[in-house]
Amino acid sequence: VRIIVAGAGPAGAMAALELAREGADVVLAEKRAWPREKTCGDAISPLGIAEGRECGISIEGCVRLPQALIGVPSGRTFRGKWPQYTPWGTTIARNDFDALLVDAAIRAGATFHPETPVVRLRHEGDALVATVGDRRDSTRDIVVDAAIVADGASGGIASSMGFSKFRSRLVALRGYIDSAVPLDPEYGLFFDRMLAPGYGWIFPMNERRANVGILLDEATLARSRRDLRGLFATWFERSPLYRERFGGSVVSDVRGGIIPSGRRNRAIGRVFLAGDAAGVADPFTAEGIFQAMSSGKLAARSLAQSPDVETARRRYERELAVFDRNERVARAMRATFRFAIDPYARRAEKNAEFAGHLASEVFFLKRSFAGFVWGLTRAW
């Protein structure tokens, strides 16, 4: 079985790794020179660490962040430890993390081609033809049994193939900053009125350096009549949490990106979408690395373990239902967060166990809104 994977981010690398392990002939084609930078908050959650471990990828040497400091629009803050999965999350520069995954895929037997864009995919009868480019701007056609498209948030392959549009898009901006004081080993997430239901973040890369940024939905950004950089500067100046830690330090390497969520269909014919291309990122937290890894793995297993491509398609859509449920809850949380969070945060300020529960319920996979509320009520 010959399969082409377009894009070597976490979704594509995990897909290639799993396919190679299943014995498929897999070509991992990446548009850019490798390793490549990816604009990101660099945070790998406990879910992402667990997903990597399950596939034999370990990032044990990185900074350990066993808790989150969460600020809510009323100004309350609470700290919550993650009780599940792995007890800590981490941060790691994306070119390093993504290279780890690609190296694992190569070791498993995938053939990796950087600077090789997949220009087009087309069904021809029962076959799929992939047109790929090379460094000399020429192209060639390869006949494959299937393709996993993992070309990220701005990749355009799916849009030319009849896939549905994304239901929502978050916009985010990040930079790096050095701190005058040692940083606490925790994810800092600060929801305030200006950004809610989005947030500003401080994710320590080590004791003195942090990835900082802001995140909000496109509609909130449009209503603010500001550009993202202006909003970031204002947020940074007026947030005491940033001022305390970074004083007059300057944020460097400021870059933005989008995080799309919610596609109705993720497999057509012999083409399967994974990661941001499939819209599986969480539309509340914007976590997308774990979801990319997991969807890449699920797409690969569906293709490799099903007797035919139609069964593989059905299996894949069924397995992605976990992200659809999470998306629905995350959208409901987005709509109610501003008004509903304060009583929970008040409780969390006083009760460490509840704070951990709240942090986990908000940030990890959510199965239903009723279940989310019920879980919190029981922990109260």
Ligand X SMILES: Cc1cc2nc3c(=O)[nH]c(=O)nc-3n(C[C@H](O)[C@H](O)[C@H](O)COP(=O)(O)OP(=O)(O)OC[C@H]3O[C@@H](n4cnc5c(N)ncnc54)[C@H](O)[C@@H]3O)c2cc1C
Is 11 or 17 the residue whose CB approaches ligand X more closely? 11
Q: Does 9 bind ligand X (CB under 6 A)?
A: yes
CB of 298 to ligand X, least distance (A): 13
Out of 15, 27, 41, 358, name the contact with ligand X by CB under 6 A. Answer: 41
Q: Which of 37, 274, 261 has the alpha carbon at shortest distance from 151?
A: 274
CB of 296 to ligand X, least distance (A): 7
Q: Does 5 bind ligand X (CB under 6 A)?
A: no
Out of 15, 19, 63, 118, name the contact with ligand X by CB under 6 A. Answer: 118
Residue 196's region, left for phi above 0, alpha for psi from -120 to 50, else beta, is beta
Question: What is the chain's alpha carbon radius of gyration, rounded to the nearest angstrom?
Answer: 21
| Torsions phi, psi for 217 (to 5 deg) | -85, 160
Cβ proximity of 236 and 189 under 8 Å? no
Q: Which residue is nearest to ligand X (CB)?
A: 288
Cβ proximity of 272 and 303 under 8 Å? yes
How many other C-beta atoms lie within 10 A of the C-beta of residue 319? 16
Out of 21, 38, 266, 366, name the contact with ligand X by CB under 6 A. Answer: 38
The stretch near ligand X (CB under 6 A) out of 2-10, 177-185, 230-238, 348-356 is 2-10
CB of 11 to ligand X, least distance (A): 3
The stretch near ligand X (CB under 6 A) out of 34-42, 64-72, 235-243, 297-305 is 34-42
Q: How far is CA 28 from the centre of its chain?
A: 20
CB of 343 to ligand X, least distance (A): 28
Residues 138-197 touching ligand X, rule: CB under 6 A, are: 150-153, 155, 157, 172, 174
Is 320 or 376 the residue whose CB approaches ligand X more closely? 320
The residue type found at 326 is N
CB of 89 to ligand X, least distance (A): 9
CB of 318 to ligand X, least distance (A): 20
Q: Where are the beta strands (DSSP E) in 64-138?
A: 67-71, 77-81, 90-91, 111-113, 118-124, 127-133
Cβ proximity of 260 and 281 under 8 Å? yes
Q: Does 30 bind ligand X (CB under 6 A)?
A: yes
Is 155 or 356 the residue whose CB approaches ligand X more closely? 155
What number of helices (H) and strands (E) belong to the chain? 11, 18
CB-count exposure of residue 342 (10 Å: 0-12, 13-18, 19+)? middle
Q: Which of 348, 209, 331, 358 has the alpha carbon at shortest distance from 262?
A: 331
Residue for token pair 């290639």: 16
CA distance 131 to 355: 51
Residues 225-264 touching ligand X, rule: CB under 6 A, are: 257, 259
Which distant-in-sequence residues (6+ apart) come within 8 Å of 188 by Cβ?
68, 69, 71, 201, 202, 203, 241
Q: Does 333 bind ligand X (CB under 6 A)?
A: no
Q: Does 7 bind ligand X (CB under 6 A)?
A: yes
Residues 259-298 touching ligand X, rule: CB under 6 A, are: 259, 275-277, 281, 286-290, 292
Q: Which of 19, 84, 85 has the alpha carbon at shortest distance from 274?
A: 19
The stretch near ligand X (CB under 6 A) out of 41-49, 175-183, 349-357, 371-379 is 41-49
Out of 2, 25, 32, 373, name the contact with ligand X by CB under 6 A. Answer: 32
The stretch near ligand X (CB under 6 A) out of 28-36, 75-83, 103-111, 348-356 is 28-36
Q: Does 6 bind ligand X (CB under 6 A)?
A: yes
Out of 2, 22, 25, 36, name the contact with ligand X by CB under 6 A. Answer: 36
Is 8 or 379 the residue whose CB approaches ligand X more closely? 8
Number of residues that bind ligand X (CB under 6 A): 41
Cβ proximity of 80 and 348 under 8 Å? yes
Residue ranges in contact with ligand X by CB under 6 A? 6-12, 29-32, 36, 38-43, 117-118, 150-153, 155, 157, 172, 174, 213, 257, 259, 275-277, 281, 286-290, 292
